[in-house]
Structure 1
Amino acid sequence: MKLIRFGEEGKEKPGVQTEDGKWLDVSAFGQDYNEDFFGGDGLARLTDWLKENGSNCPEVSKETRLGAPLRRPSKMVCVGLNYAKHAAEGGMAVPKEPVLFFKATSAIVGPNDDLVIPKNSEKTDWEVELAIVIGKKASYVSKEQALDHVAGYVLHNDYSERAFQLEREGQWVKGKSCDTFAPLGPFIATPDEIKDPHALRLWLKLNGKMMQDSSTSDFIFDIPTQISYISQFMTLLPGDVISTGTPFGVGLGLKPPTYLKPGDVVELGIDGLGSSTQTAKAYGQ
Structure 2
Amino acid sequence: MTWRTPRCLTTRRAELFGELTLKFFMFSRDGQTAVGVRTAGGFIDLTAAGLPATLDAMLASGPDAIDRAESIAKQTRRVEPVLGLRILTPLQKPSKAIAVGLNYVDHAAEIKATTPDYPVLFHRYPSSWVAHDEALQLPKVSNHFDYEGELVVVIGKGGRYISKEHALDHVFGYSIFNDGTLRDYQFKSAQWMMGKNFDRSGAFGPEITTADELPAGARGLRIQTRLNGRVVQSAVTTDMIFDVATLISICSEPFALAPGDIIISGTPAGIGFSRNPPLFMKAGDRCEVEIEGVGTLRNAVAAE
TM category, shorter: over 0.9
For 1:46, what is the secondary structure of its paired residue? helix
The superposition leaves residues 224-277 of structure 1 with CA deviations (integer Å, 9 ceiling, x where unpaired) of 000000101121111011011000001011012111111111112000111121
* 1:241 paired residue number: 262
Q: For 1:74, give the aligned amino acid.
A: S
* 1:55 paired residue number: 77
TM-score (norm 1): 0.92
* 1:273 paired residue number: 294
Which of these residues, 278, 282, 287, is aligned with residue 257 of structure 1? Answer: 278
**Distance (Å, rounded) in 2 between the aligned partners of 1:184 and 1:254:** 25
The superposition leaves residues 167-224 of structure 1 with CA deviations (integer Å, 9 ceiling, x where unpaired) of x235211111122233222210001111241100000111111100111010101110
For 1:7, what is the secondary structure of its paired residue? strand
**Distance (Å, rounded) in 2 between the aligned partners of 1:157 and 1:47:** 29
Q: Tell me the C-alpha RMSD between the 2 structures.
A: 1.8
**Conserved 8 A contact 1:9-1:67:** no
**Distance (Å, rounded) in 2 between the aligned partners of 1:192 and 1:134:** 13
Gaps of 5+ in 2: 1-21
Q: For 1:55, give the aligned amino acid.
A: R
**Distance (Å, rounded) in 2 between the aligned partners of 1:220 and 1:156:** 18
* 1:46 paired residue number: 69
For 2:194, what is the secondary structure of its paired residue? helix
* 1:13 paired residue number: 34
**Conserved 8 A contact 2:51-2:69:** no
User: Which range is displaced more, 73-82 or 61-70?
Assistant: 61-70
**Conserved 8 A contact 1:108-1:181:** yes
| Percentage identity across paired residues of the two chains | 39
Task: Find runs of 4+ consecutive structure 1 residues off by over 4 angstroms.
Answer: 8-11
TM-score (norm 2): 0.87
User: Which range is displaced more, 252-261 or 36-45?
Assistant: 36-45
Superposition deviation, residue 67 in structure 1: 1.1
User: Which range is displaced more, 36-45 or 143-152?
Assistant: 36-45
Q: For 1:176, give the aligned amino acid.
A: K
How does 1:198-237 map onto structure 2 within 5 Å? 198-237=219-258
**Conserved 8 A contact 1:151-1:190:** yes
**Distance (Å, rounded) in 2 between the aligned partners of 1:140 and 1:149:** 12
Superposition deviation, residue 134 in structure 1: 0.4
Distance 1:140-1:10 versus aligned 2 partners, 3 A rule? farther
The superposition leaves residues 58-107 of structure 1 with CA deviations (integer Å, 9 ceiling, x where unpaired) of 51332423111122211210111000110111121110111101111112
Structure 1 residue 187 corresponds to structure 2 residue 210: no
**Distance (Å, rounded) in 1 between the aligned partners of 2:173 and 2:25:** 12
**Conserved 8 A contact 2:225-2:233:** yes
